[in-house]
Amino acid sequence: MNPKTVKPESIAAQALGWIDEQTRAVTPPIHVSSTYLRDPDNQYRSGRVYARADNPAFDQAEAVVTALEQGTAALLFASGMAAATAVFQALSPGDHVLAPKVMYWSLRNWLMNFATHWGLQVELIDMADPAVVRAAIRPGQTKLVWVETPANPLWTITDIAATAAIAHAAGAKLAVDSTVASPVLSQPLLLGADIVMHAATKYLGGHSDLIAGVLVARENDAFWQRVRTVRAQLGGTLGSFESFLLLRGMRTLYLRVRQASASAQRIAEHFAQHRHVEAVLYPGLPGFAGHEVAKRQMSGGFGGMLSIRARGGEAAAIATAAQVELWKRATSLGGTESLVEHRASVEGVGTPAPADLLRLSVGIEDAGDLINDLEQALARAHG
């Protein structure tokens, strides 16, 4: 299959159409060997040495993600955190990095509590404002600008193209966490990003049954090779079975993301003026601060994630979550099932999430059923 001549839906559904040459199987085998035979003359002509650095179970999944993002190379990791931190670990002590104030809380905590200890200069800024980025960047010293868009849990939108231009003018790389958008709705590499990251546990896997991460590069350059070395030497690689599950999940990626995105839009519009809701945070709403930028850099929808702020504060939000029946009270996103959580309780001190905020991950259930369940939950929470 030539990725340049078919639509991405076909690439995902057939996983590039690869066939196992030995068995002619349409579904790939699971390779579990940790080591590979050396040739009699002491060479490794197969290209395989040890599974921590290179595993044939990675090949097809990495090729599919590379094609969907229109990059040049991909690397699978044991988790989204392993993927994200590998980018920062490929930098050098003393390097200055910019990251958003609103971002995945585990990575933000890692940056402030670990990355700074081994020498990175980390600065958190309002990444939604290009003027703030331009003022904060240090030409020659800033080596990486990290963007998350839409950004968890406020769904803040960053202009990827504008930020890429600022970063590159200063000699910095731009990396984009595009987990929430997925390749279905946004392709950051085409907008100027150097690396795109996905917590593949979420939409790429799509079934809440694996932990995985992936990076895709626009260019297979020296920095990318350092990232590859970090993966091999620190051992943050994915297991063979998880690689199989990820590849299986990606076959339905476009169906799932489009369904979730359409339902999220409907849910956001329904509750935007609701008597028990203070505000709805969703890029697909015209009144949302980043709506116009999202329209430019996202296509086919605005994603399956939104947040509602319950009228009545923290107590009302927690009470609403307690009353749902169809929605599940659980952490994570991007699965087939719809999830709700009180995000401030999860993130703790320093969270940008207001105390009245409920984060919603919309699955592939009937949108009307999801709306009705939230309606009854809000009604019960408000007496």
Catalytic positions are 52, 104, 177, 202
Using DSSP's 3-state secondary structure scheme, residue 370 falls into helix
Q: Which two tokens stand for residue 284?
A: 């697909």
Whether 360 contacts 307, CB under 8 Å: yes
Give dist(CA 95, CA 88) in Å, integer: 10
Give dist(CA 264, CA 283) in Å, integer: 10
Residues 6+ apart with CB under 8 A from 2: none
Give dist(CA 358, CA 353) in Å, integer: 9
The residue among 375, 383, 334, 339 whose CA lies nearest residue 358 is 339
- 222-234 vs 80-89: helix crossing angle, rounded to 10: 120
The residue among 41, 72, 354, 349 whose CA lies nearest residue 223 is 72
Give dist(CA 127, CA 303) in Å, integer: 19
For residue 328, report the phi and psi dihedrals to the nearest 5 degrees: -105, 135
Using DSSP's 3-state secondary structure scheme, residue 256 falls into helix
The residue among 223, 169, 158 whose CA lies nearest residue 195 is 223
Cis amide prior to 153 (ω within 30 degrees): yes
